[in-house]
Amino acid sequence: MTAYVIVDAEVLDEERARAYRALAEPSIALHGGRYLVQGTVPEAAEGSWPSPSRVMTVVEFPDMDRLKEWYTSREYKQAKAARRTAIELRLLFVEGRPQEAKTA
């Protein structure tokens, strides 16, 4: 079952954030992940969004095991170290819906 990382981020230092992304993006691909939404400022449909400088990212992985392998990987640990003073973020790990069987 697919799994997703939902990211709510606020960029504090754009130059350092670029360094983080340069490390994070290949680490995601290495573990079978792909971006569905990347660094987009959301449009609030209901309620209020905490800050116009916050961005959303959604990354899809083949399953929760691969997602967690990525998150604890040596490659992503390097990216996490680079983001310490660059980005304030919150991550959610969620599983997608099971695939429905196709009928003939």
* 39-84 tens-digit pLDDT: 877 777 887 766 666 788 999 999 999 999 999 999 999 999 999 9
CATH of domain 3-43+52-95: 3.30.70.100
Task: State residue 26's pLDDT score.
Answer: 97
Q: What is the side-by-side strand order in the sheet with 3-11?
A: 34-40, 54-61, 3-11, 87-95
The residues that bridge with 4 in the sheet, in sequence order, are: 60, 94
Measure the CA–CA gap between 52 and 49, rounded to whole angstroms.
7
Give residue-wise pLDDT tens across range 17-39.
999 999 999 999 999 999 999 88
Measure the CA–CA gap between 5 and 8, rounded to whole angstroms.
10
User: What pTM was estimated for this model as a whole?
Assistant: 0.84
Measure the CA–CA gap between 9 and 40, rounded to whole angstroms.
10
Answer whether 87's CB lies under 8 Å from 9's CB.
yes
Task: State residue 52's pLDDT score.
Answer: 65
